Amino acid sequence: MTHLFGAISSPSCASFALKKTADDNREEFPAHVINTIKQNFYVDDCLKSMPSEAEAMALVGDLTAVCQINCMSIEHQLTPREDLLQLVSLQKASGCWVLDPALAAALGKTSKEVENTKPSAVKHGVWATILALIWLHGFKMDAQEEWELLAMKTVSWLRAQNALCVTECVEAGNALLGCSMQKDALGL
């Protein structure tokens, strides 16, 4: 359905459509996402404070996924530098990443997309870390000087895990992220 922009009823229609979308999808998404749509939107603007930028980005990813179901879009733009910093800030001291909503958002995906494409035999941390490595190589080669040392630490962590499904993970990660990285190019 299309609604004329600027009509007197536009704000009411926008609010109704958002709340109806939340109600229709309350079983598919976490309660905090549905509550955000119902309580923190005014017409088409969302105002909500989050404890961290990572949690805010995860929420944006989930809100986007809910709205896309009914062909609505949420416009949120990160600068190329911000998305790199977002991903880097999520790396653990050991060199790995954790499979959580913040990582999914940093990768531009929903938690459901990231979790549903994980090869069944691989551990969550290995999957998350390979995804981060693919993303860096696939989308941030222009900033390689900024992340190459943390990538070396990442590769060392992955090797220490003795993961059996690295090739399968790289293939699945490429499919998820829209990349075509080779295992060798990642240093694995």
Q: Are residues 108 and 84 in contact, defined by beta-carbon separation less than 8 angstroms?
A: no
The Cα–Cα gap between 29 and 130 comes to: 26
pLDDT at 127: 95
Closest CA to 187 of 145, 143, 157: 157
Residue whose entry in the numeric block shows the structure tokens 């293939």: 171
The Cα–Cα gap between 41 and 98 comes to: 30
pLDDT at 79: 47
Sequence-distant (6+) residues with CB within 8 A of 21 are: 37, 66, 67, 69, 70, 72
Which helix (H) or strand (E) segment holds residue 144: the answer is helix 144-160
Q: Are residues 45 and 98 in contact, defined by beta-carbon separation less than 8 angstroms?
A: no
* Number of helices (H), then strands (E), in the chain: 9, 2
pTM over 0.85: no
The Cα–Cα gap between 10 and 62 comes to: 24
Q: Are residues 27 and 72 in contact, defined by beta-carbon separation less than 8 angstroms?
A: no
The Cα–Cα gap between 41 and 35 comes to: 10
Domain coordinates in residue numbering, the chain? 10-69, 80-186
Residue whose entry in the numeric block shows the structure tokens 């694995």: 188
Per-residue pLDDT tens, the chain, 188 aa: give them.
Answer: 565 666 677 778 777 888 888 888 888 888 988 888 888 877 767 777 777 767 777 888 888 888 787 776 666 554 445 778 888 989 999 999 999 988 998 998 988 999 999 998 899 999 999 999 999 999 888 888 888 999 999 999 999 998 888 999 999 999 999 999 998 888 88
b/e 50-75 (16+ beta carbons within 10 angstroms → b): eeeebebbbbbbbbbbbbeeeeeeee
pLDDT at 124: 93
The amino acid sitting at 152 is M
